[in-house]
Copies of this chain bind each other. A is one copy, B any other.
Amino acid sequence: MALTGELFVASKRVSRDGPGFKAVAAATGTEIEPSFSIATTEDVETAAAAAEAAFPIYSGLPREDRAKFLEAIADEIEALGDELVERAMQESGLPQARLTGERGRTAGQLRLFAKELRLGEYLRARIDHAIPDRAPAPKPDLRLRHVPLGPVTVFGASNFPLAFSVAGGDTASALAAGCPVIVKGHSAHPGTSELVAGAITRAAEKTGMPAGVFSLINGAGNTVGQALVTDPRIKAVGFTGSRGGGTALMKLAQNRPIPIPVYAEMSSINPVFLLPGALAARAEALGKGYIASLTMGAGQFCTNPGLVLALEGPDLDTFVTSASDAMCGAPSQVMLTPGIHKAYESGVARWASAPALKLVAKGQEASGPTSGRGALFTMTGADFIADPSHAEEVFGAASLLVRCADIAELQKVVTLLEGQLTATLHLAESDTELARQLLPSLERLAGRILANGWPTGVEVTDAQVHGGPFPSTSDGRSTSVGTLAIDRFLRPVAYQDLPEALLPAELREDSSVPRRIDGKPTL
């Protein structure tokens, strides 16, 4: 399938004259064909109007129909075959194995949400039967379910061109909830986006969805994104990207006449705690594991271990030696975009010029103009406490090890950290008591707490939380990965004394979804 550079406005391919834009090959920084259309104001208007018109139809469909739509998208994405992975490799610079895995994850999470729809527990249905003879007043019949918010805008992310872009986690959870989706495509991978958008529209057609259920809009600069976030028909926003971008969207959404929620996943340095027992038992292995996690995908994961905390001592020296050796052997890797590469280089330069920080190891020399070279820095706990701004995220394979004099200093450092997606404990049995002391702080700090692992693998499952207090996300009350992500696009509605004929299917007596009935959870 040749790329056309078209937009998808209400599932229809649309081409626009005038200056377009081209993708840039991540490895070389050179442009690749074709040129992509930039959406007009009318395109945004058409997409929003169609999403609004589609909402009552799409949200009113039986859950089974939406489940089939999600599964059809997964099938169509897989049917794109090698072309999708090849274009994504070219545009993102990510290796084939990673993108093949990411395609699997993308299809897998669409199918997981289909399963979630069939289960129906996400509706959190509740029934309180009437008590007509209650004194002093009769008790009415009350029934509750969750309904979708309305059309949703999703911003594609550069670091997951499949799993967090056009048909990624935000789109899957919003579509599952019953919300039409308008994707603002990321300019770093427009070809990948076009291929996936084609898959979605084919799936929508095959399963009889209303045209407005999906649009893909490209834009230059922020105009199109701003128009979408401020459009009165848009009821929620999903975003993964920089802190600056995320907080700008939050402001836009809050200043609307009717404010809407923005689910922005922004910056996190994912502190890793090496507790004394673990360090005594396996400092060398930990050093290797750390660098493997840090340099994976050129360090371009939201859950990259950007900060390590440990107590001074010979075991920590062993860890540093092991990590330094591993870092010295780590090949440089193509970064996602020339802009991200440049920001990484300047972040590393900022750290290198900070008197409190010490560079202890660098990865192998850059092999191309946009290749990122890993970097490992250390500093003392006292210096960190004096200026915690060093903890600002450097997006890429750079990390900072904070050597603490004692446990009190380590605990002080924890209180200075901003909200995080993850916090990791490496511990041995002898560390249990210290871990127990740290846990309450870590629960306040992060959305996911790991033991004896590395934060970079994010399992897509029921019990996952990929979220956390500000600024790791704009709203720590939610997750963007895993089935609980559907919650973000729902709100509760109660029905009082509604005749059975008018009740939603899941609130009728004969429904089989899990519900709480008269105070008792039932399956």
Contacts and interface: CB of A to CB of B under 8 A. Distances in A.
A47 interface: no
Given A121-B521, A451-B499, 7 more contacts: A139-B461, A254-B254, A432-B501, A436-B502, A449-B493, A451-B498, A469-B491
A279 to B, nearest CB: 17
Contacts of A115: 519
Interface stretch (A161-169, A283-291, A477-485): A477-485
Contacts of A365: none
Interface string A426-444: 0100001001100110011
A459 interface: yes
B451 A144 contact: no
Interface residues of A, number: 80
A338 interface: no
Copies in the complex: 2
Contact of A258 (B56, B124, B462, B470): B470
Given A261-B477, A496-B451, A502-B435, A147 B443 contact: yes
A348 interface: no
Nearest to A259: B470
Interface string A37-74: 00000000000000000001001100000000000000
A189 interface: no
A444 B250 CA distance: 23
A452 B482 CA distance: 40
Interface in A450-496: 450-453, 457, 459, 461-465, 467, 469-471, 474-479, 482, 484, 490-496
25 contacts: A119-B519, A121-B516, A127-B463, A128-B459, A128-B462, A128-B463, A140-B457, A140-B459, A149-B476, A149-B477, A150-B444, A259-B474, A427-B499, A435-B502, A439-B502, A449-B495, A451-B496, A453-B496, A459-B496, A462-B519, A469-B491, A477-B490, A477-B491, A484-B492, A514-B521
B465 A492 contact: yes
B494 A128 contact: no
Contacts of A137: 457
A492 B479 contact: yes
Given A60-B440, A465-B492, A494-B447, A521 B523 contact: yes
A497 interface: yes
A185 interface: no
Given A115-B519, A470-B258, A519-B462, A432 B502 contact: yes
- A435, A444, A450, A493, most chain B CB atoms within 10 A: A493
A136 B449 CA distance: 23
